[in-house]
């Protein structure tokens, strides 16, 4: 199916969905922001759209700030659900199905919120590309009856960004910011202080010019992933980078010669 056909079917779905009040699981990333803007565009009657953001231990604080900004641009009701996933021992020790356990906990809370508001329809931003990589959380989403219009229509990440650009979504080119637990090996205990250390390290690297970056932590070793074409720039700044990251508590600083790749912690599965 070509892009224009996908777009037509997607808008038909969204016009159907916006005939009633709905909730959108809203991270402030490009996928959920596209859903939000498309819902506003397709709404023909005055219905309520709740953009619901999870404020959790495992997501960077910048996500919440971005979500507030985009929800304001869309002119929808923005709600925040607070949840500490690490209170569950199963999640805290980072099992291979951590994503399933997290999504089940988060989206059950979202379902409870929706029920309180009298809303029966919940959307989330999984896209076609997400269906072809290790995403155990998708099982939880399906079990709870959450709808994924982008994936259902076959929109790839590239096509999501394209349509978001057409709709003037301010975060259309924003890099993905997945859960911070993906920076740790499976089986490693997830501690708040370690998550904060990783978040600060990545924020420093972004400010140093590496917008797409993952700082994976293997015990004492920090493994940095950036696009391969940025290696020369990184090496020019290596002394500054090493000094700053060591001051944050990282012992050994390495650059992964394979470069940035989403989900590299899943490669052994």
Domain ranges of the chain: 3-166, 191-266
DSSP string, 60-95: -HHHHHHHHHHHHHHT-EEEEEEE-GGGSHHHHT--
Phi-psi region of 11 (alpha: psi -120 to 50; beta: other; left: phi over 0): alpha
Distance of CA 24 to CAs 18, 41, 113, Å? Answer: 11, 15, 11
CB 29 within 8 A of CB 177: yes
Q: Shortest CA distance to 21 belongs to which of 144, 126, 114, 124?
A: 114
Tens-digit pLDDT string for the chain (269 aa): 899 999 999 999 999 999 999 999 999 999 999 999 999 999 988 899 999 999 998 987 768 888 999 999 989 999 999 999 999 999 999 999 999 999 999 999 999 999 999 999 999 999 999 999 889 999 999 999 999 999 999 999 999 999 999 999 999 998 888 899 999 999 999 999 999 999 999 999 999 999 999 999 999 999 999 999 999 999 999 999 999 999 999 999 999 999 999 889 888 87
Report the 10 Å Cβ neighbour count for 253. Answer: 18
pLDDT at 62: 67
Cα separation, 150 vs 147, in Å, equals 9
| Token pair for 228 | 């391969």
pLDDT at 141: 96
Cα separation, 155 vs 258, in Å, equals 27
Task: Give CATH for domain 191-266.
Answer: 3.30.70
pTM recorded for the entire structure: 0.90
Question: In angstroms, how far is CA 212 from the centroid of its own chain?
Answer: 14
DSSP string, the chain: --HHHHHHHHHHHHHHHTTS-EEEE--SSHHHHHHHHHHHHH--S---EEEEEEEETTS-HHHHHHHHHHHHHHT-EEEEEEE-GGGSHHHHT--TTHHHHHHHHHHHHHHHHHHHTT---EE----GGGGGS--THHHHHHHTT-B-HHHHHT--HHHHHHHHHHTT-TTTTPPP---GGGGS-TTS---HHHHHHHHHHHHHHHHTT-SS-EEEEETTEEEEE--GGGHHHHHHTHHHHHHHHHHTT--EEEE-TT---TTGGGTT-
* CATH architecture assignment, domain 3-166: 3-Layer(aba) Sandwich (3.40)
pLDDT at 65: 87
């Amino acid at each position: 199916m070509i892009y224009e056909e996908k777009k037509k079917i997607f808008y038909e779905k969204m016009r159907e969905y916006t005939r009633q009040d709905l909730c959108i699981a809203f991270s402030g990333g490009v996928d959920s922001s596209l859903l939000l803007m498309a819902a506003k565009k397709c709404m023909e009657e005055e219905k309520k759209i709740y953009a619901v953001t999870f404020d959790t231990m495992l997501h960077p604080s910048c996500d919440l700030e971005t979500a507030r900004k985009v929800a304001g641009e869309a002119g929808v009701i923005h709600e925040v659900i607070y949840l500490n996933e690490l209170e569950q021992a199963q999640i805290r020790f980072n099992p291979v199905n951590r994503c399933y356990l997290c999504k089940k906990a988060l989206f059950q809370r979202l379902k409870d919120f929706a029920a309180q508001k009298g809303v029966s329809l919940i959307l989330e931003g999984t896209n076609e590309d997400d269906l072809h990589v290790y995403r155990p959380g998708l099982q939880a989403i399906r079990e709870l009856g959450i709808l994924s219009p982008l994936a259902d229509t076959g929109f790839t990440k590239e096509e999501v960004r394209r349509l978001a650009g057409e709709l003037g979504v301010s975060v259309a080119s924003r890099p993905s910011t997945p859960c911070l637990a993906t920076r740790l090996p499976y089986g490693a205990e997830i501690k708040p202080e370690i998550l904060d250390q990783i978040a600060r390290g990545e924020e420093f690297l972004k400010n140093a010019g590496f917008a797409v970056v993952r700082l994976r932590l293997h015990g004492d070793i920090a493994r940095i992933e950036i696009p391969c074409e940025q290696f020369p720039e990184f090496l020019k700044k290596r002394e500054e980078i090493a000094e700053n990251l060591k001051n944050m508590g990282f012992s050994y600083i390495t650059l992964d010669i394979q470069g940035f790749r989403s989900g590299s912690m899943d490669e052994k599965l």
